[in-house]
Structure 1
Amino acid sequence: MSPITRDEAEIEVVGGVDTHQDTHTAAVIDLVGRVLGTEQFPATASGYAALLAWMHGHGRLSRVGVEGTGAYGAGLVRLLRDEQMQVIEVDRPDRKTRRFQGKSDPIDAIQAARAALAGERTGTPKQRDGRVEALRNLRVARRSAVDQRAETQRQMKALIVTAPDELRARLRGLNITKLIATCANLQPDQADASIPAVAVAVALRSLARRHQNLSTEIANLGELLEPLVAAINPALLAANGVGPDVAGQLLVSAGENHDRLASEAAFAMLCGAAPIPASSGKTTRHRLNRGGDRQANAALYRVVLVRLRWDPRTRDYMQRRTKEGMSKKEIIRCLKRYVARELYQLITANDLQLAA
């Protein structure tokens, strides 16, 4: 590549990065979309610095589009933020683009730069250096433990179905608490593990003790999560129908930098609670939104269920809308939209208080 002249160094340029586990591929384009260069860098602290310096060598860098800002690109995004660079979160190219242009890391990096230049993507990446990030990490561990415990419980019940009659009759009528305790205290003779009746007892004891260990792990993580959620946003935690798990999920979905959500409508769209227009001709209608953060959507759903059971205003709304001919599912979708609006106000109000 020929050296950059002084005049070329003064032009405004836009960067794009395709991120991977071990390497990041960067591209630089000018304001009319011409490619000025592509280069690959290691996904390390020194590699991030070299990537940024390389981009600056092509001109005045105005913004950078980055794929995978919440995964492989997290480290690069932190450096770009520290350098006061505008970072745009971009998605991978759509199938139509890839069908005509092919697929390679330089092509993806160029597409990221062009998406940032054209304003096709304007999303701001989440910050990964605050208490919300700590909350996310703890929630990942807890959710994994909850999933594993549920799977362990299903495996135990499957083994009981095919267990010998005597053992099955002893266990099948117990509730889950007594079942776990009983199986954990089984004393099979492991020397005879080749016998199916003994082997199933050994397996049930192992699964039951795993279940107990996972329950302890979940409880320990919960003790860390609840005060952290309360410290981040006590008003959200105190809202009707919102517990530590729901509040934690919504805080993680919104991110540390809540100002990246321009409005309550944007928050509802993020949570998959904003209906999608599906009108055509004389037909005006909306369809169910199956996008967004499904964990956040599930959190709103739990809030609605709690309020339908205990909140008089929500119950009155349900009765009124039912008389108007709406189904329960449709009413719950409407309620999730209202809840998203209310909780967004609590999240952003907390930001304003912190700023003051």
Structure 2
Amino acid sequence: MIDEHPEREVFAGVDTHTDTHHAAVVDPLGRPVADQEFPATTQGYRALLTWLGTFGQVQAVGVECTGSYGAGLTTVLTASGLVVVEVNVPDRGTRHSRGKSDPIDAYVAARAAASGRAQAIPKSRTGTVEALRQLRVTRASAIKARTQAINQLIGLRVTTPEPLRQTLAGLTRAALVNSCLRLRPGPDLGDPVHASRFALRQLARRIRRLTEEIDEVDEHLSVLTAAAAPELVALFGVGTGTAGQLLVTAGDNPERLRSEAAFAALCGAAPVPASSGRTDRHRLSRGGDRQANRALHMIAVVRMRYCPRTRAYVARRVQQGLTKKDIIRCLKRFIAREVYHALNQPRARHAISTT
């Protein structure tokens, strides 16, 4: 379909999926113009972009799941100069009242962009922070697998036949792994004694391989994190792990965050009013990125233990009658402010060699 008014203003929305994307176009009042499905491939992204241009001047495109299914499309649309905003998936109540289909979701996304309800700028995912995110995913899965292997090793130690159980009893985790690495099972694995020796040795070898993998990833993460945000790493109580998480939360383009208050809300550190009657107080936020909130919490705990200025602040607030939860909430909000300004310092945005 070719529009008869190529100069008019329109808004678009895209419902993203693994194999296909469904796009819709509306006018500034939210009235439907057209919709069509495209394959989720490079050629499909270009066809979708060309299709959008036939209806007029696209003011904004609302895209669902810009960090997953819509990541490729978001990159193409942004590179073409279009304004892309992130649209939340419709909630259950909206779907219950309006129904659920790809065209319906695409039109909802387009109307969200047209009304200004969707304003969040998606992460660019084209620099060092995206590399950090991928490495952190690999590290998290390796740690989870190692923890599972360690738990299985400890469980097998309890049920292994005597006298091997007595030999392994009372050992620390590191000593247990080293002892199991030295086990020599016999050729007959039908014997429970030889089978237990073989199983323990295999688990110990798995733990050793995963530990080597984690150490290797940690080396790259340390280099990338320090190069991407040296001002952030220099803050008191901020380590490689917490800095990496905060970087991933902000993205390669932290300037997309309008203010430090927006960043605090993104991290779940914005104060939420909880007043009633004569009670005037705030509570901890349960929203935002919970992993980023955990990173701020860890920084606050470290400062409460080792930072003299923070210890003096805690003592003063305790005298004022604040609870520990309220003090941590205040500290997390202050740390979010420091982190926001550190993230917006000029830094390396592109791929950095770790060799």
- Structure 1 length normalisation: TM-score? 0.93
CA RMSD of aligned residues (A): 2.0
Pick one of 253, 256, 262 that aligns with 2:258.
262
Choose from 117, 121, 138 the match for 2:118.
Answer: 121
The residue number in structure 2 matching 1:4 is 3
Q: 1:272·1:291 contact (CA, 8 Å) conserved in 2?
A: yes
In the alignment, the residues of structure 1 paired with residue 165 and residue 336 of structure 2 have an alpha-carbon distance, to the nearest angstrom, of 47
Higher relative contact order (CA 8 A, sep 6+): 2
Residues 6-37 of structure 1: per-residue CA shift (max 9 Å, x gap): xx322210000011111000000001111111
- What's the counterpart of residue 192 of structure 1? 188
Q: Of 211, 217, 226, which aligns to 1:215?
A: 211
Q: Does 1:160 align with 2:157?
A: yes
CA displacement 1:59-87 (0-9 Å, x = unmatched)? 11111000010001111111111111000
Q: Which amino acid aligns with 2:188?
A: D
Q: CA deviation at 1:254?
A: 0.5
Which position in structure 1 is the counterpart of 2:339?
A: 343
Please say if residues 235 and 350 of structure 1, whose CA atoms lie closer than 8 Å, have aligned partners that are also in contact.
Answer: no
Structure 1 residue 326, shift from structure 2 partner: 2.8
Q: Which runs of 4+ in 1 moved over 6 A?
A: none
Task: Check the 8 A contact 1:13/1:58 in 2, yes or no.
Answer: yes
Given that 1:28 and 1:38 are in contact with CA atoms closer than 8 Å, whether structure 2 keeps it comes out as yes
Asked if structure 2 preserves the Cα contact closer than 8 Å seen for 1:18 and 1:24, the reply is yes
Percent of aligned pairs with the same amino acid: 53
Amino acid at match of 2:99: G
One-letter amino acid matched to 2:3: I
Q: Look up the SS of the partner of 1:350 in the other structure.
A: coil
Paired AA for residue 331 in structure 1: I
Partners in 1 of 2:185 and 2:224 — Cα distance? 43
Matched residue SS, 1:349: coil
Is 1:142 equivalent to 2:143 in the alignment?
no
User: Which residue is equivalent to 1:322?
Assistant: 318
1:307 maps onto 2:306 in alignment: no
Is contact 1:23-1:40 (8 Å) kept? yes
For 1:45, the aligned partner's letter is T
Match of 1:227, as an amino acid?
Answer: V
Q: Is the 8 A contact 1:128 1:256 kept in 2?
A: yes
Out of 202, 207, 232, the residue aligned to residue 206 of structure 1 is: 202
TM-score where L is the length of structure 2: 0.93
2:240 match? 244
Q: 1:277 aligns with which of 273, 290, 293?
A: 273
Distance between the aligned counterparts of 2:293 and 2:161, measured in 1?
Answer: 43
Give how far 1:164 is off. 2.8
Structure 1: runs of 5+ lacking an equivalent: none
Are 2:65 and 1:61 equivalent residues in the alignment?
no
